[in-house]
Amino acid sequence: MTTATTAMTTPHATAAAPAAVSADTTLSVTNLDMHYGAFRALRGINLEVKRHAVTALIGPSGSGKSTLLRCFNRMNDLVPGARVEGQVLFNGEDIYHPSVDPTEVRLRVGMVFQKPNPFPKSVYDNVAFGLRINGFKGNMDDAVERSLRRAALWDEVKDRLKQSGLALSGGQQQRLCIARAVAVQPDVILMDEPASALDPISTLAIEELMRELCRDYTIVVVTHNMQQAARASDWTAFMTMGEDRAGHLVEVGSTQQIFTNPQDERTEGYITGRFG
């Protein structure tokens, strides 16, 4: 069933048929439906997320961007009544298979939230937390420094590692959260509007960081900010809310193509600011 699709040229094919799992695909979503109790939040999502690239999920409020993002690391499992149908393959493995431990998934697919949420612990302990709970045996000081450097925060905090993470500025807190996510060396980093609570300078810093990090990580970012998607992402997926109020995917493509030559008029309407 999947062999025939290897010939597909566009990596982000939205065909209803199960997508191919090629080496440059990290996440592959097939016919995904998501319910909160009786409410259908997502309908028929098909999407491939490319390895070592930034994929942006854009769309109006209520289009299910964040919900889709949370399907990728099974965070929706924590919501009572949440139910997922369809398939999400992570490096070819079905993350919703009954034998899969969701904590294992979350270890490989990290997440950065909309509002910076450092633990009320020291900068050091924030970064070390994920390593400690996963029984990290190596040199913790090195691992913490490496992660903070990756998040472009080391120089600003190296003299106050023992201070509370909450004493940092908002932008620094968000980079601390990125360092915390990077520390456990995931394959994917999901970012749920990571800059929406930040000032423009901090926002740019986060965007630069995404560009920098995508050399080693696969990044999926939800954003309301179309300039951000245009600036920082390689691929863009446009979602919208259907008549039944369920979110669904309208169009996926390279960011360049989506912003210059959208195929669907709803996408065009959204990116030109005519609705949403």
Partner 1 sequence: MARDGIARRTNRADAAMQLSRNRKRGALQGRLVHWLFFACAVMSIVTTFGIVASLLSQSLGFFREIPLWDFLFGTTWSPILRDAEGNRHYGVLPLVSGTVLVAALAAAVAVPAGLAIAIYLAEYAPDKIRRTIKPILEVLAGIPTVVYGYFALTFVTPMLQRIPLRPFQEDLLVFNALSAGLVMGLMIIPMVSSLSEDAMVAVPRSLRSAAYALGATRLEVSLRIVVPAALSGIVASFILAFSRAIGETMLVTLAAGATPRLTFNPIESIQAMTAFIVQLALGETPRGTLEYNTIFAVGLLLFAFTLGMNVLGQFLVRRFREEY
Interacting residues toward partner 1 by CB under 8 A: 73, 75, 78, 80, 103-104, 106-107, 110-111, 113, 115, 117-121, 129-130, 133-134, 164, 166, 177, 180-181, 184
Indicate the residue among 36 and 119 with the shorter CB distance to partner 1: 119
Q: Is 243 helix (H, G, I), strand (E, B) or coil?
A: coil
**Token output for 126:** 């924030």
Give the nearest distance from C-beta 103 to partner 1 in angstroms.
Answer: 5
Indicate the residue among 127 and 241 with the shorter CB distance to partner 1: 127
Decide if 105 contacts 184 (C-beta within 8 A).
no
Give the nearest distance from C-beta 79 to partner 1 in angstroms.
Answer: 11
Residues 116 and 21: their CA atoms lie apart, in Å, by 34
Indicate the residue among 117 and 263 with the shorter CB distance to partner 1: 117
Indicate the residue among 130 and 253 with the shorter CB distance to partner 1: 130
Indicate the residue among 12 and 106 with the shorter CB distance to partner 1: 106
Give the nearest distance from C-beta 106 to partner 1 in angstroms.
Answer: 4
Q: Compute φ and ψ for 89, nearest 5 degrees.
A: -100, 130
Give the nearest distance from C-beta 26 to partner 1 in angstroms.
Answer: 17
Residues 122 and 163: their CA atoms lie apart, in Å, by 5
Q: How is residue 111 annotated by DSSP?
A: E
Query: CA–CA distance from 124 to each of 135, 148, 165, 204 (Å)?
Result: 16, 9, 8, 25
Residues 143 and 148: their CA atoms lie apart, in Å, by 9
Indicate the residue among 127 and 258 with the shorter CB distance to partner 1: 127
Q: How many helices (H) and strands (E) does the chain have?
A: 10, 10
Decide if 225 contacts 192 (C-beta within 8 A).
no
Give the nearest distance from C-beta 121 to partner 1 in angstroms.
Answer: 7
Q: Is 261 helix (H, G, I), strand (E, B) or coil?
A: coil
Give the nearest distance from C-beta 97 to partner 1 in angstroms.
Answer: 17
